[in-house]
Amino acid sequence: MWGSDTGTEFFESGQYESSNPAMPKLRAGIPRSGSAGCRPPPPTNAGLEKMKKLDEAEAEFRKVIEANPSNASALNYLGYMLADRNLRLTEAQQMIQKALELDPGNGAYLDSLGWVYFRLGKLDAAEENLKLAIQKTPRDPTVHDHLGDVLMKEGKLKDAITQWQKSLQEWDTSSQSEQDPGEVVKIQKKLDGAKLRLAKETGKK
């Protein structure tokens, strides 16, 4: 949760936002006190991808964490950013685990931890945490997408298809402001490929 620390004031005052047009996208992923969701929009978000401001964002989030090492939202946010970019995964894991220590059972943090385990190749731990995340946030399309990726890597083709279908269903029912066409296209492509593979495997039996 955001407190009154220096880093928070920096973000809330709009000082960084005024000089960096990517910040509205970044701030959208950081909840104010009492908000349940704490995972940032994926770095592949079209606006961020075009602006190429992720390195600057990382530097500023490190300032927030330095000012308040117990800021669970910032720890999770930065940890997820690193994991999604496949960078400094051990550090990302440590940040996310600390966020969960501060806010146990947070579905968004569990998703982040599952995703960093996936990046590390620890598929059992990834599946376990992502399933816990779904229990907490069953309507989150990104969590279903992440679990689909893990299940596919484990060779659980039918289960992966189910998760990607659920992800697309949740994207379809999400509000206009939350929709990300780029992500939907990626998930649909994975789903189509998995269905084609399943059809081929079934035909051989």
Domains in the chain: ranges and CATH: 7-135 (1.25.40.10), 138-197 (no CATH)
| Contact assessment for residue 27 and residue 20, using Cβ atoms and an 8 Å cutoff | no
Q: What average pLDDT is seen over the chain?
A: 80
Alpha-carbon gap, residue 196 to 204, rounded angstroms: 13
- Tens digits of per-residue pLDDT, 149-188? 999 999 999 999 999 999 999 999 988 888 889 999 999 9
What pTM does this model have? 0.76
pLDDT at 23 over 80: no
Left, alpha or beta for 102 (phi > 0: left; psi -120 to 50: alpha)?
alpha
- Tens digits of per-residue pLDDT, 109-118? 999 999 999 9
Residue 87: strand, helix, or coil: coil
**pLDDT band per the 50, 70, 90 thresholds, residue 30:** very low
| Contact assessment for residue 43 and residue 54, using Cβ atoms and an 8 Å cutoff | yes
- Tens digits of per-residue pLDDT, 38-73? 444 444 333 343 355 778 888 888 888 999 999 999
